[in-house]
Amino acid sequence: MLAVTMDDFNLPENSERALERDLRIRSALPVRAAAFVSGKNETRSTFDRVLSDWADDGHIIANHSYSHMNSSENETEVIIRDIARNHDLLSERAGFEPYFRFPFLAGGRDLAQQDDYRAFLSDAGYIVAPVTIDTYDWNVTARLEKPGADRARIGDYYLRSVRTMAKHAHASALALGLKNLPHLMLVHHNALNALFLGPLLKTLQSDGWEIVDAKTAMDHPVMAGPPPRIDGWGNRLNLLRRAAGVEVPAFPDELQNFGTPAMDALGL
């Protein structure tokens, strides 16, 4: 089982392109997904329309901070104000639910800052949504922008690398004793997913993954509960593994450094 969570919503300046991209992305979603929106994108003319369309389709609108700063590299007060600013922007919108995701998954530079963020978010009624399946789609989409980019080969690589990542996440969860964990996959609202989110989800389904409701996955105790209290942030399975001292299958070589060496080797 995996649910789709989509972050940022850095919409293109060109309205027609933004709406076309968004329609392709929404059409690929078979069940309720969660949109983690950074409010700084409100400067885009399509911002309102896109969020309304997501809500109309039944998806969740959630908080990804206003400015998309790194919470581990800035002062606590600055970040808290920024999260609150995004709350004010989004919380009256249709579809809004109080889920929060840290930009870069950065939950604080040390335990003290992590605790401060946790206390603030919990007092504000927020549930923090972690990630268990990364896709590195932000790194792959950069290849699409290169002159002479071969879309088909980039798409093939994207599907193959995410299958590998999902398989690794599944094996890691099993090693941690989490048999029926509904995974949370992170993708971004970008050109790559306008082209390939549909084929990606179909490929994952053919591998046996069931695409499930994002709310169900985010409310699962392992996801909605506090992360292990260790100094670190990032993928939830990685934190759980470190906290438990459990050996999990080695991270796939081809995904090292966000897939950059693998894509370079393929000439993408």
Residues that bind Zn ion (CB under 5 A): 7-8, 103
Nearer to Zn ion, 7 or 213 (CB): 7
3-state secondary structure of 75: coil
**Cβ of residue 7: shortest distance to Zn ion, in angstroms?**
4
In the complex with Zn ion, which residue's Cβ is closer, 18 or 69?
A: 69
Closer Cβ to Zn ion, 186 or 194, answer by number: 186
Q: What is the DSSP string of 202-259?
A: HHHHHTTPPB--HHHHHHSHHHHSPPPSSS--S-HHHHHHHHHT---PPPPGGGGGGG
CA–CA dist 257, 194 (Å, integer)? 24
Q: Is 130 left (phi over 0), alpha (psi -120 to 50) or beta?
A: beta
Beta strands 60-63; 34-37: pairing state: parallel
Residue nearest to Zn ion (CB): 7
* Minimum gap (Å) between residue 174 Cβ and Zn ion: 28
Closest approach, Cβ 210 to Zn ion, in A, equals: 26
Torsion sign (Cα): 27, 2, 102, 215: positive
Nearer to Zn ion by Cβ, of 141 and 170: the residue is 141
Residue 154 C-beta: closest distance to Zn ion, Å? 21
Residue the block writes with tokens 């990804």: 64
Q: Report angle CA 169, 174, 175 to the nearest 5 degrees.
A: 95
- Specify the residue, 104 or 120, whose C-beta has the smaller distance to Zn ion: 104
Shortest CB 191 distance to Zn ion, Å: 16
